[in-house]
Chains A and B, each alone.
Chain A
Amino acid sequence: MTSFESRLPAVASHGVDHGMDHGATDAAQSAPPPPAWTNIHAPDALRATTSDAERLAPVGRWRATRAYLRNPTAVIGLLILAVVLAAAALAPTLFPEDPLAMVDRPLQWPGQNPDYPLGTDALGRDVLAGLVHGARVSLLIGAAATLVSVVAGVLVGATSGYFGGRIDDALVKLVEVFQTIPGFILLIVTVAIAQPTIPAITLAIALVSWPAVARLVRAEFRALREKDMVMAARGLGYGHTRIILREILPNALPPVIVMASVTVATAILMESALSFMGLGDPNTISWGSMIGAGREMLRTAWYLSAIPGLAIVVTVLALNLIGDGLNDALNPRLSEGR
């Protein structure tokens, strides 16, 4: 009889009991009863019950962090980056002299002279000092270029994806213009026209990198703007700016963060390539310029190119590991314990 009754919608029957069996839930109800309403049809409506299943969900704020830290390769990436960051930060204390200054006899191999553990280059400059100071330039340009390209890409992509229509058409065309030009050629031309200073190189790398961010953000926004939560936000009277920045952007950020970590790596590579070709800032030492300087002695003193090359490889690898780890941690479908 009970199953029979529960199948029938209660039409025109004010008296029909709505819930199933209230006995058990009533007994479990310990919360003080809120003010009585005369219209209550379901006694258990007084207070929502908290089932154990609801409590099992992990606290959301640290879920991603914990998922990231459970991933050993991602932690290794983070450690390597921490070492590089420490080297860059401590460079002025560790090697107060100008890394471009000649300090000793040229072309000493690593280990030959305990004062210069990584040897000296063709002009007698300390390779270790160059490596540590080069980390500053590489990381600075990588981070700054990524910041500029992410900000520009998010602005363009969000506007384009959220509003759609003609704005979208125009902005997509703009992105396509940049994408039809080979990135590195554009970079070389831009740096060749402008002065080869660090800000100019940073902006030039950002100019090459932002279209990819814009496309990613646009795709995210196009998918997210159709969500019920956006309609609900509009129903609450929120304006477009508020919806873009506060409702959609936080949901679109995870893939952008992942992309940013890889963009830093790409920017470091681009800067190294520019410096290798002698298009970098001649007044600062960078890993790329060190490789470029060692190029002519590749057969006799290969360590001059190999050491800064290894630094680039390790740093870029670390950033990619971090990117992979973030991707897994920020994607709720891949990380466990959602």
Chain B
Amino acid sequence: MALLNVEDLTIAFPRATPVRGLSFSVNPRETVALVGESGSGKSLTALALLGLLPSGARIASGRVAFAGRDLTALKDRDLRAVRGRDIAMIFQEPMTSLNPVLTLGDQITEVVRLHQGLSRAAAKRRAVELLDLVRIPEPQRRVDEHPHQLSGGMRQRVMIAIAVACSPKLLIADEPTTALDVTIQAQVLDLLDGLRRDLDMALLLITHDLGVVAEWADRVVVMYAGRKVEEAPFAPLFAAPLHPYTRGLLNASPRLEEGHHHSLGPLLEIPGSIASAAAETGCAFAPRCPLVRAACRTRVPEPMAAADDHSVACPVTFTRESEHGLAVG
């Protein structure tokens, strides 16, 4: 049974609907990547799961079932007990997500004392353990330091320590490495992956970086303008992407063996920019799509199953692949 089941989630602002009819699920101990470019609604989705939508935004329809409970129906008080204990979240900016005036120890002990009712001394010991768990050197000394004494990568490790402090079943990481140096990114993602295994967590990884997806995700959900356009396990998605947007994304990422370099020729891109989801009449990708047909501009495509675990919201590529018997299994 899926740990997290998002069904037909629609998030609405008074004048816009940035996420429409989104469905996906996360199984226990699985890493699911939610991929999309800026403005595709992936971060908003993450906030909606925890009931942390900004003021003005609301969940217009849909269910978020976590371990059998519908989170959208919970009272604020009950939801607070879920946050941090059962579902934890890591944000993009480690530089500003820690409280600058409190020590690392204060910030870690606070969450374990709140959710697990530990004594002050036990919580302090747990804080040192947690800093050690996220591979911070000299945790005994670091526990009494302030965030400004740490580098960005170290702060993100501390954020991860706080997030996993109560052994959550699901960890949502919203662009956890975007603000970090490239050399640190792999370290932090390795750490997340290792903790996921050790602590039996599921990981919902929100990213726009296909390199991150390729290395760490089990399954990928591709979003475009607030809708899911393709969902598949990592290998078939990268080997044989179906949706024109996914294909465009993968083509736009130069591969080592093809020898692309900006000095040799222009890198491939997807023409145009992401369309506003405000006045949606057809497929949101239609204006940029190389395979667009007349029908695409009038009807919003529904996700269709190309294989058991591979769905795509594009009738054009779906039928073509099926006709030629090329559907990926």
Find chain A residues with CB under 8 A from B260 CB: 8
Find chain A residues with CB under 8 A from B182 CB: 6
> If A48-B136, A229-B99 touch, does A234 touch B186 (CB 8 Å cutoff)?
no
Q: Determine whether the beta carbon of A41 is less than 8 Å from that of B215.
A: yes
User: Contacting B214 at CB < 8 Å: which of A8, A13, A60, A232?
Assistant: A13
Interface size class of A (residues with CB under 8 A): 35 or more
Q: Determine whether the beta carbon of A237 is less than 8 Å from that of B84.
A: yes
Q: Determine whether the beta carbon of B84 is less than 8 Å from that of A9.
A: no
User: Contacting A235 at CB < 8 Å: which of B52, B93, B194?
Assistant: B52
Residue B82, interface by CB 8 Å: yes
Q: Determine whether the beta carbon of B91 is less than 8 Å from that of A5.
A: no
User: Which residue of the partner chain B has the closest CB to A49?
Assistant: B137
Residue B88, interface by CB 8 Å: yes
A236→B145 CA distance, assembly (Å) = 21
Q: Determine whether the beta carbon of B137 is less than 8 Å from that of A10.
A: no
Beta-carbon contacts of B88-132 to A below 8 Å, as 1s and 0s? 110101001111111000000011001100000000000000000
Find chain B residues with CB under 8 A from A57 CB: 148-149
User: Contacting A238 at CB < 8 Å: which of B55, B80, B186, B210?
Assistant: B80
Residue B219, interface by CB 8 Å: no
Question: Which of B63-71, B152-160, B270-278 participates in binding chain A?
Answer: B152-160
For A41, A48, A51, which residue has the most chain B Cβ atoms within 10 angstroms? A48
Q: Determine whether the beta carbon of B98 is less than 8 Å from that of A229.
A: yes
Query: Shortest CB–CB separation between residue B207 and chain A, in angstroms?
Result: 12
B171-217 at interface with A (beta carbon < 8 Å): 182-183, 185-191, 193-194, 197, 209-211, 214-215
Find chain A residues with CB under 8 A from B80 CB: 237-239
Residue A199, interface by CB 8 Å: no
Residue B254, interface by CB 8 Å: yes
For A9, A11, A42, A250, which residue has the most chain B Cβ atoms within 10 angstroms? A11
User: Contacting B91 at CB < 8 Å: which of A11, A41, A228, A247?
Assistant: A228
Query: Shortest CB–CB separation between residue B253 and chain A, in angstroms?
Result: 4
User: Contacting B114 at CB < 8 Å: which of A13, A238, A250?
Assistant: A238
Residue A117, interface by CB 8 Å: no
Beta-carbon contacts of B227-256 to A below 8 Å, as 1s and 0s? 000000000001100000000001001111
Find chain B residues with CB under 8 A from A105 CB: none
User: Contacting B110 at CB < 8 Å: which of A7, A37, A48, A246?
Assistant: A246
Query: Shortest CB–CB separation between residue A257 and chain B, in angstroms?
Result: 13
Residue A44, interface by CB 8 Å: yes
Residue A31, interface by CB 8 Å: yes
Residue B151, interface by CB 8 Å: yes
> If A8-B256, A39-B194 touch, does A236 touch B101 (CB 8 Å cutoff)?
no
Q: Determine whether the beta carbon of A50 is less than 8 Å from that of B110.
A: no
> If A48-B137, A250-B102 touch, does A20 touch B83 (CB 8 Å cutoff)?
no
A40→B194 CA distance, assembly (Å) = 8
Residue B9, interface by CB 8 Å: no
Q: Determine whether the beta carbon of B214 is less than 8 Å from that of A39.
A: no
Beta-carbon contacts of A17-41 to B below 8 Å, as 1s and 0s? 0111000000000010010010111
Query: Shortest CB–CB separation between residue B51 and chain A, in angstroms?
Result: 9
Query: Shortest CB–CB separation between residue B174 and chain A, in angstroms?
Result: 10
Residue B261, interface by CB 8 Å: yes
Q: Determine whether the beta carbon of A231 is less than 8 Å from that of B186.
A: no
Q: Determine whether the beta carbon of A12 is less than 8 Å from that of B255.
A: yes
> If A8-B256, A229-B97 touch, does A42 touch B186 (CB 8 Å cutoff)?
yes
Find chain B residues with CB under 8 A from A237 CB: 80-85, 111, 114-115
Q: Determine whether the beta carbon of A39 is less than 8 Å from that of B197.
A: yes
Find chain A residues with CB under 8 A from B299 CB: none
Find chain B residues with CB under 8 A from A16 CB: 256
Q: Determine whether the beta carbon of A51 is less than 8 Å from that of B151.
A: yes
Beta-carbon contacts of A285-329 to B below 8 Å, as 1s and 0s? 000000000000000000000000000000000000000000000
Find chain A residues with CB under 8 A from B150 CB: 54
Residue B135, interface by CB 8 Å: yes
Query: Shortest CB–CB separation between residue B131 and chain A, in angstroms?
Result: 10
Residue B146, interface by CB 8 Å: yes
A47→B98 CA distance, assembly (Å) = 21
A235→B187 CA distance, assembly (Å) = 24
Find chain B residues with CB under 8 A from A227 CB: 96
A42→B194 CA distance, assembly (Å) = 12
A31→B138 CA distance, assembly (Å) = 10
Find chain A residues with CB under 8 A from B189 CB: 41
User: Contacting A228 at CB < 8 Å: which of B50, B85, B96, B138?
Assistant: B96
User: Contacting B185 at CB < 8 Å: which of A12, A18, A54, A59?
Assistant: A18
Q: Determine whether the beta carbon of B97 is less than 8 Å from that of A20.
A: no
User: Contacting A5 at CB < 8 Å: which of B100, B183, B256?
Assistant: B256
Residue B11, interface by CB 8 Å: no
Q: Determine whether the beta carbon of B214 is less than 8 Å from that of A10.
A: yes
Query: Shortest CB–CB separation between residue B41 and chain A, in angstroms?
Result: 17
> If A14-B215, A37-B194, A41-B190 touch, does A251 touch B149 (CB 8 Å cutoff)?
no
Task: Mark A residues whose CB is within 8 Å of B.
Answer: 4-14, 16, 18-20, 31, 34, 37, 39-42, 44-51, 53-54, 57, 59-61, 164, 227-229, 231-239, 242, 246-247, 250-251, 338
A-B contact sample (6 more), CB < 8 A, given A37-B197, A232-B89, A232-B91: A7-B261, A39-B190, A48-B135, A48-B157, A54-B154, A235-B89
* Pairs of residues from A and B, 3 with the lowest C-beta to C-beta distance, nearest first: A18-B186, A236-B84, A237-B83
